Amino acid sequence: MNLTKKIIYALILGALVGLSLNIFSPSLFETFNKFLFDPLGTIFINLIKLLVVPIVLFSIILGVAGLGDPKKLGSIGFKTVFYFLCTTAIAIILAIVLAMVISPGTKGEFDTENATFEAEEAPSIGETFLNIIPDNPIMAMAEGDMLQIIFMAALIGFALTVLGKKTEGIVKLVEQGNELVMFLVTWVMKLAPYGTFGLIASAIGEQGYSAMKAMALYMIVVVIGLIIHTILIYGGTILFLARKSPIWFFKGFAPAMTVGFSTSSSNATLPLSMEAAQDNLGVKKEISSFVQPLGATINMDGTAIMQGVATIFIAQVYGVDLSFTALVTVVITAVLASIGTAGVPGVGLIMLAMVLSSVNLPVEGIGLILGIDRILDMARTSVNITGDAACAVMINEQEKRKESAA
């Protein structure tokens, strides 16, 4: 049985076990969660996180150095960021339209008095750009600040390109370090089914059937948005821009999507995402190594869909009519926030707090969706990493056509 099937079976089994224990024996669930589910998930997540910083550092250095021509790097960088910003804008517009048509906030009674949420202060866009340059690279790696690590690695890769033969030994050392990390990734992924089982059983068991039932329509709208965006936008990217089969793409990237679903973290899934793109989808290592780590940091289409639906949902619950100007503000704020809050823990809810504040909606309304956000976070992470891979495949195929034309 291949890894993908094992992970899918573990996911289904974990969901069934978690839900059953929640319904029939909550006290037994607490015991299992404390001594089995939570430890399994934590060990797996920590093992992956252990490899994230070195793999981003090595892969970005090799990616930038491998591109060679600085003009080529600039061209690929521009196309990557432009693609991410465009798809994020499309995602939130789609979410707003779906939420306004289906109106999940008008279909039930919601306890707004007990809805509480304390928003962490997110950095401004200006602060984020200023903080991209690390004053202490060792601290940046210790704290896992991905934007700073990406900047530092890109700078080193650029220097290695310019210096050429003078630094061949360093390039060789980085290549060997990358091989070492990828070997460890392959080993850790053998534990993925067990980690997936623990993570899903814990998440489903803690949320329970009652919480999901109360917010069913909201969840359905978000999931519909995620599915439509994945099929139309990413499938369309692969079909029309990369000129490849969307079925081939989704089949090849399925292992990473299932792990992304269980971990709820684009960064934690990054090692497998890159491996799937390179081995299954044929993306060149230097392109995958540049595009996907950057996407894991700033590309959040799935999160944008949640924000769009949640904003309209909260406005409907509180009886607030948002004007066209307010809706445009939501789109712009969410797109900018996708970069501005990169690397901040709990990024989805912090971004949502920023969006709500921009149109004077009560931030406390986030308390309404907190109960089932963990489940939706899993789904939107799968979408986020799929967008990164679609961009990498598109750029890879376009660069191939350029080279063949030349």
Is pLDDT at 291 greater than 70 in this prediction? yes
- Hey, what amino acid is at 386? T
Instruction: State mean pLDDT over 31-35.
Output: 94
CATH number of the domain within which 96 lies = 1.10.3860.10
59/244 Cα distance (integer angstroms): 25
Instruction: State mean pLDDT over 158-186.
Output: 91
Which residue has better confidence, 206 or 371?
A: 206
Determine the distance from the C-alpha atom of residue 71 to the mean position of all C-alpha atoms in its chain, rounded to a whole number.
28
Q: At what angle do helices 266-279 and 168-188 cross, to 10 degrees?
A: 100
Is pLDDT at 153 greater than 50 in this prediction? yes
364/199 Cα distance (integer angstroms): 28
> For position 340, what pLDDT does the model report?
55
Domain that holds residue 255: 3-405
> For position 245, what pLDDT does the model report?
97
Over residues 187-211, the pLDDT tens digits come to: 888 888 999 899 889 888 887 776 6
Among the ranges given (5-14, 57-66, 206-215, 240-249), the one the predictor scored with the smallest mean pLDDT? 206-215
- Identify the band that residue 341 occupies on the pLDDT scale cut at 50, 70 and 90: low
| pLDDT mean across residues, the chain | 87
Exposed (0-12), middle (13-18) or buried (19+): which is 404, by Cβ within 10 Å? exposed
Is pLDDT at 346 greater than 80 in this prediction? no
Residue located via tokens 């990217």: 237
- Identify the band that residue 345 occupies on the pLDDT scale cut at 50, 70 and 90: very low
Q: How many domains does the chain have?
A: 1
Neighbours of 72 (CB within 10 A): 13
- Hey, what amino acid is at 146? M
> For position 122, what pLDDT does the model report?
58
> For position 45, what pLDDT does the model report?
85
